[in-house]
Structure 1
């Protein structure tokens, strides 16, 4: 186990599980992760390997005997009839039979209906009436003569969720972890490997948890397919429900006027709409209108009566265009159905997750470390809905005065939600509070900036805050930094073009031109930024050089040596046809794989020799290299705070991935480059 995994087991004994076990026991069972983790939490919440293996066998046996597969439903029904009584794990939905005045249950996989349910059961578990709940039930079979009578009898029912938890112990244990450790624990709890994500990517994942701990939080995430947008809302919590955006109706979501039955928002903490995007989708305008009122006021009307609810609303959908295309030709909401592409509806959204920054899910991204049993974390988050941390930044920071009330609500709700997730006791350093506040402002700014494009009646707002010392900080979205020529309204884009405004990416790209002279400067790049390449960063400064010296202690692992090879490709592209430049590397020998390191560098040397580049290297025997830089004999020193390691992990072995073939399509780590004339 890693040191973090040991610490997790020490402070949360019995409440965490190794995350790769879910895949191990799932097999072909079509069941949410929280159901499996409920069982794993009963038998595998330990770090003892022998106990884990025994627990896995127990859980597999429980699933084999009691989980109902649809194709084996007939066999299970026969078992109940012959044995008289049998325990099943299935999704149960209950409806009121108006004509008979009784509640009747439907078992989704078992395929039986009209099973009588007592009124007391419904009072204890009202969610059975809306959307269905995964349960462990004892069923009996008793054939009766009465016509239309159901022979199936529900002897007992237990919804799959945690029965109790100690919130104070949770807060106490949280204090034992640093902020970085706690973030990694939460990412592992979601099921991902935190080592493959940067800080910003982790924060984007954690925003998905806010609807479970913040009442009436309105969240949207639009991005490419395959990024796991709906995973948390379908698999993570027994208090959330995922529905298809095209299947919802006013009675199902809010209230049925014919019988007064409250819809999904009255029973679930989070209602998520899957496949929400799609220009051609038919949308009920009455649903849009009542949704606008609910998202703004937390209420909806039924005739003369006004009702309230606390469910957060989440909208997830796929984009069909790249970000620069959307910014140039339309807006970041352009894929929504026309009736939702409405400024009044969109203005109710508190945060826009930029789904294009989230990696497409790959096998190696899943965690085999320890994380919370998800129903435990789900109950913790639910209990945090009773808290309000929206004012925790006051006294240290103040939002700028021209931020409107609705914009402030969006910032406050996101800030409060992230504080609950990361600092449930409410205690955080000024630097940590500032990070969360900046992130919350950016998410709301992304919404408002697109509203300015859609509806000309909106006025531009300065999004930012003031520090207690008097400094004013303005916040920009990442796509605003990346594509300033396409960002903003037409008038703003023209003003910025006239003023020569450009991002670090565009500035460095312009430097590639033969006619542009390289200049001394300092460039900063943000995490998840795209459009960056070695050609863009180095070509103007390497052109004409006959000797190039690279100093980087971390040219050891395969991906690091591959980075070096890609730099050699840049040298090859910018050298004159008849030139034979020399490139010398100073690095440190790998303590454990020196032979492999030497072999890879020799391969680069041979490849370079074939095209007229003299590549050599030496190991710094003192092992004291700290600075990373490139020095050329044409008068430049390029200081690199991360060396050549500027890209996040990408699909290195996928021949058909653009990220593999072209650096411009990879996401970056946060890094800085300084160009100096010594």
Structure 2
């Protein structure tokens, strides 16, 4: 339905679904078609494309008023002691807004909110006043929902059915994804339901890394990596006004990678403190906030290339390629495992209205599931406090998304715990390449019967030869030329011993690459 109405309107998905929810909430095909036509008509009449802003301003002047769909932000004008709205696409400023509207919707003050608004025009001779009047303003967001009925409904689904429903809600066809790929997609939702969660995703272009943060929820904001300042993100010292982290649940940094990009050193230092302690100090006071941070960017090279020549954080700007900053990241989402988005991957089935799901995830921020695995499993004592925090936060977030009612089996809990540990291990293993002061950690956990489970990342399984090399140890070129080291002098000659292929069983993980029929069966076919 969203695809049917989106066309070339540059509005987020939750705006379209809000309108569809009002006009297409039925199973009747004819009613749905007429509802879609109504929504298209509303967008055609009331959405303001930037290139037609002049025409719509003229229409409001001639007609006296008009209803518009636009992104509206509000500022306090201290000189006149009044709130003034700016319409992003319509291009009008200093439109008076009453205090009650601002109190009811404080996000208008930071970054702006998509709204349906009635704008009136009343010209007078007074040069100090604006002719534009804001008659009504209604943010396009869900007004209420029943959390208990959501929990009750979850109990009627199996785990696989529930995962498929969530994947369809994001907009993808679950039949085209394996279990691990589905979990990677759902992991992008964790910042919305977990406070102060820091996630990084680096991978090839075109895998939909920033889509969730820009289209999915009215509680998240996507900022370009180079555009943000300390004042915009944290607090403006001259006005005392708190920045984005005070108002949004998720602040995502787009185009975060790029070695040549310059980053403000002061910003990096404040971010380090905020990501570790949930607080930042400017001037004389220390302020706290609960926004999660998501960093998304494109990689320039393949995984084996990065592992061979540098590390998996290689594409980050120099100021962010810093072990103290990266140590505060709770999960590294391997973007190279996510498929490049193609037309057939989109879903045609039913899913949640994204606005509804966004409100559910927001309410789940008040819950904590981080210790639910402890009934069955114990983390290795090697794992440091910071590693433990990262594992706990990822585990808690995935539990909230998949089992909000808390009824998971031991095997399901183990799968989520294993996945959470892998994401934090990916961060730690790269830190050990960047900074030699980090000690080696055994990422493992035990069950109640004393059985130990060791965790490896998928890259470790695929490229063991490159994965455990410390860059710059002076021996890497020799290693690549002759991976087998021997003590045999050149004078001695040794008859090569050809090993006979053995019967056996080989297990591979989903998304594992570097496997061929040649390596699997080649030894068994010699002489055939």
Which residue of 1 is the match for residue 123 of structure 2?
143
Q: Distance in 1 between matches of 2:422 and 2:132?
A: 55
Q: Distance in 2 between matches of 1:230 and 1:415?
A: 22
* 1:40 matched to 2:20: yes
Which residue of 1 is the match for residue 503 of structure 2?
520
Which residue of 1 is the match for residue 489 of structure 2?
none
Which residue of 2 is the match for residue 480 of structure 1?
460
Q: Distance in 2 between matches of 1:225 and 1:169?
A: 39
Asked if structure 2 preserves the Cα contact closer than 8 Å seen for 1:452 and 1:489, the reply is no
Report the CA distance shift for 1:466/1:143 in structure 2 as closer, same or farther (over 3 A): same
Shift of 1:427: 1.5
* 1:31 matched to 2:14: no
Q: Distance in 2 between matches of 1:243 and 1:472?
A: 43
* 1:163 matched to 2:143: yes
Q: Distance in 2 between matches of 1:429 and 1:51?
A: 42
Which residue of 2 is the match for residue 378 of structure 1?
358
Q: Which of 298, 303, 306 in structure 1 is aligned with 2:283? A: 303
SS of corresponding position for 1:30: coil
Q: Distance in 2 between matches of 1:89 and 1:119?
A: 21
Which residue of 2 is the match for residue 568 of structure 1?
none
Superposed, 1:219-618 pairs within 5 Å as 219-490=199-470, 517-545=500-528
SS of corresponding position for 1:485: helix
Gaps of 5+ in 2: 486-496
SS of corresponding position for 1:103: strand
Q: Per-residue CA shift, 1:638-670, capped at 9, x if unaligned?
A: xxxxxxxxxxxxxxxxxxxxxxxxxxxxxxxxx
SS of corresponding position for 1:525: coil
* Bigger mean CA offset, 410-419 vs 108-117: 108-117
Q: Distance in 2 between matches of 1:138 and 1:80?
A: 10
Shift of 1:245: 0.4
SS of corresponding position for 1:206: helix
Q: Distance in 2 between matches of 1:488 and 1:185?
A: 39
Q: Distance in 2 between matches of 1:137 and 1:200?
A: 43
Q: Distance in 1 between matches of 2:525 and 2:168?
A: 42
Shift of 1:68: 1.0
Report the CA distance shift for 1:141/1:432 in structure 2 as closer, same or farther (over 3 A): same
Shift of 1:543: 4.4
Shift of 1:544: 4.0
Q: Which of 151, 154, 162 in structure 2 is aligned with 1:174? A: 154
Which residue of 2 is the match for residue 96 of structure 1?
76
Q: Distance in 2 between matches of 1:245 and 1:191?
A: 26
Which residue of 2 is the match for residue 22 of structure 1?
2
Q: Distance in 2 between matches of 1:425 and 1:335?
A: 40
Shift of 1:114: 1.0
Asked if structure 2 preserves the Cα contact closer than 8 Å seen for 1:396 and 1:468, the reply is yes
Q: Distance in 2 between matches of 1:293 and 1:109?
A: 36
Which residue of 2 is the match for residue 60 of structure 1?
40
Superposed, 1:77-226 pairs within 5 Å as 77-226=57-206
Shift of 1:98: 2.9
Shift of 1:500: 8.2
Q: Distance in 2 between matches of 1:443 and 1:98?
A: 47
SS of corresponding position for 1:372: coil
Q: Per-residue CA shift, 1:393-433, capped at 9, x if unaligned?
A: 11200111111100000000000000000000112000000
Shift of 1:521: 2.3
Shift of 1:74: 2.1
Which residue of 1 is the match for residue 490 of structure 2?
none
Q: Distance in 2 between matches of 1:518 and 1:449?
A: 33
Pair member with larger Rg: 1
Q: Distance in 1 between matches of 2:448 and 2:35?
A: 54
Report the CA distance shift for 1:442/1:246 in structure 2 as closer, same or farther (over 3 A): same
Gaps of 5+ in 1: 1-20, 502-513, 546-678
Number of residue-to-residue matches in the alignment: 512
Shift of 1:515: 6.7
Q: Distance in 2 between matches of 1:98 and 1:322?
A: 53
What's the C-alpha RMSD, in Å, of the aligned pairs? 1.9
Superposed, 1:617-628 pairs within 5 Å as none
Shift of 1:82: 2.4
Q: Distance in 2 between matches of 1:500 and 1:520?
A: 25
Shift of 1:157: 0.7
* Bigger mean CA offset, 525-534 vs 466-475: 525-534
Q: Distance in 2 between matches of 1:446 and 1:168?
A: 37
Q: Distance in 1 between matches of 2:128 and 2:310?
A: 58
Per the normalisation by structure 1, the TM-score is 0.74
Q: Distance in 2 between matches of 1:442 and 1:499?
A: 27
